Structure 1
Amino acid sequence: MALEELSGDAAGENVNRESTSYHAVKTREKLIGVYVGILAVVLALCSLGDSNSQQDATQHNIAAANVWSFFQAKNARRQSLRLHADEFDVMLKSTPAMPDDAQKYIEAKIADYKLQDKLLTSDPERGEGLDELFAKGKALEASRDEALKRGPYFDYGQALLQIAIVLASVALISGGNFLLFASFVLGGFGAVLTIGGFTLLVPLPGFLS
């Protein structure tokens, strides 16, 4: 009778151990599943940031090119006006016996050219003077360059996050912890790079940028 009781107790302990082990495995699988889900969300945000940064860089580059084309056209127009004004000025000085009507006409043309020159140089009301266009072009170039800086963060971030997801999935199947630890490390770096891509607070090493 005592032997049967001992056998029953041993069998019960084995069942309890198996049950505990089963629950531990299930808990581990659930936690890894949640972890993989978090990585997937971060990866989606990283991918979105990469797409937006590329679009911003392209749009700002096109806008900057248009502004500089407008700037060059206006600058060429200003140079032409200055040449005409100089020619009329030389004409007045070299022809002192010029009739009064012709002299007044030339002086009026010179004044008109100088007024147009002034408006071409600076036109705050419409924001289309050379000074305003220069500032606008530089601002667009700065925005483009900032968007381009974000690209490497998102590129490396996506790569690390994807590898981290693969390692976590393998660890889930194999039951090993080394791959899971490696996934944690790579996933952490991927998350940091994603944050860096949005904020540019974390400088990239020179060979990565």
Structure 2
Amino acid sequence: MSEAFEHHEKAHEAAHGHHSSNRRIGLMIAILAALLAIAEAAGKSAQTEALNRNIEAANFWAFFQAKTIRMTTMRTAGEAAKLELSADLPQAQRDAIQKQIDVWAQTALRYDTEPETQEGRKELAARAKQAEAVRDHSLAAYHMYEYASAAFQIAIVLASATVITGFLPLAWLSGALGVAGVAISLLGWLAPTALHLGGH
């Protein structure tokens, strides 16, 4: 009789321990799901920022090209007008041509650099490169968050499998993947270009 009672007690303790273990794994799944949601949101934000900065850089480069064309047109017109100065012209006409050449030269210079408005070629190129740098940083962060999300998803699957199978090594592997996901997420936030995993 006492053996049957002991067997019943051990079975009860094992069932209670299994139930407690499942509760811990359930809590781990909930934490992993929350981390997955955070990584997904951060990745989406980084992706949107990368797209916006890519458009911004493209706009700056288009503006840069337009300024280059205008500057080249002004300089070409000035060079053509200089040829007319070599002809035998009245002084008043020569003065008018020289005045126009000076205006074109000044305009061409303004197209090349205009610090006041930040819309000269040099300033536009600098702004485009700055937008590209932010784009590349955000794109690298996006890739890191994608890797972190994958780690969290696999960790959730393994933790769920632990509940079904009772095979605890899967829970340890799930926890390790969760820690890896957190580490990758932190890299995406603090130093996304550190590992160069984005493929760009």
Verify same fold: TM over 0.5.
yes
2:74 maps to a residue whose letter is L
1:48 match: 41
Q: Deviations over 1:140-164 (max 9, x none)?
A: 1111111221233122221221111
Q: 1:45 to 1:143 in 2, by over 3 A?
A: same
1:85 match: 78
Q: 1:72 to 1:175 in 2, by over 3 A?
A: same
2:91 match: 100
Is residue 2:195 matched to residue 1:204? yes
2:25 match: 32
2:69 match: 76
Match of 1:98, SS state, is coil
| Cα offset, 1:39, TM superposition | 0.6
8 Å contact from structure 2 (residues 144, 197) kept in 1: no
Bigger CA radius of gyration: 1
The 2-side partners of 1:44 and 1:72 are apart by 42
Q: Deviations over 1:26-55 (max 9, x none)?
A: 321221111111111111111112211221
- 1:7-26 correspondence runs (5 A): 7=1, 13=6, 16-26=9-19
Considering only aligned residues, what root-mean-square deviation do their CA atoms show, in Å?
A: 2.2
The 2-side partners of 1:208 and 1:69 are apart by 26
Q: Which runs of 5+ in 2 are unaligned?
A: none
The 1-side partners of 2:198 and 2:137 are apart by 18
Match of 2:116, SS state, is coil
Q: 1:182 to 1:208 in 2, by over 3 A?
A: farther
The 2-side partners of 1:203 and 1:80 are apart by 45
Question: Which 10-residue stretch deviates more, 78-87 or 49-58?
Answer: 49-58
Q: 1:126 to 1:206 in 2, by over 3 A?
A: closer
Is residue 2:28 matched to residue 1:58? no
Is residue 2:168 matched to residue 1:185? no
1:159 match: 150
1:4 match: none
The 2-side partners of 1:175 and 1:165 are apart by 15
Q: 1:46 to 1:175 in 2, by over 3 A?
A: same
8 Å contact from structure 2 (residues 140, 192) kept in 1: no
**What is the count of residue pairs matched by the alignment?**
200
Question: Which 10-residue stretch deviates more, 19-28 or 126-135?
Answer: 19-28
8 Å contact from structure 2 (residues 144, 184) kept in 1: yes
Q: 1:208 to 1:86 in 2, by over 3 A?
A: closer
| Cα offset, 1:12, TM superposition | 5.9
Aligned identity (percent) is: 31
- 1:167-178 correspondence runs (5 A): 167-178=158-169
8 Å contact from structure 2 (residues 140, 198) kept in 1: no
Is residue 2:116 matched to residue 1:125? yes
Q: 1:156 to 1:131 in 2, by over 3 A?
A: same
Q: 1:152 to 1:58 in 2, by over 3 A?
A: same
Q: Which runs of 5+ in 1 are unaligned?
A: 1-6
Question: Which 10-residue stretch deviates more, 183-192 or 134-143?
Answer: 183-192
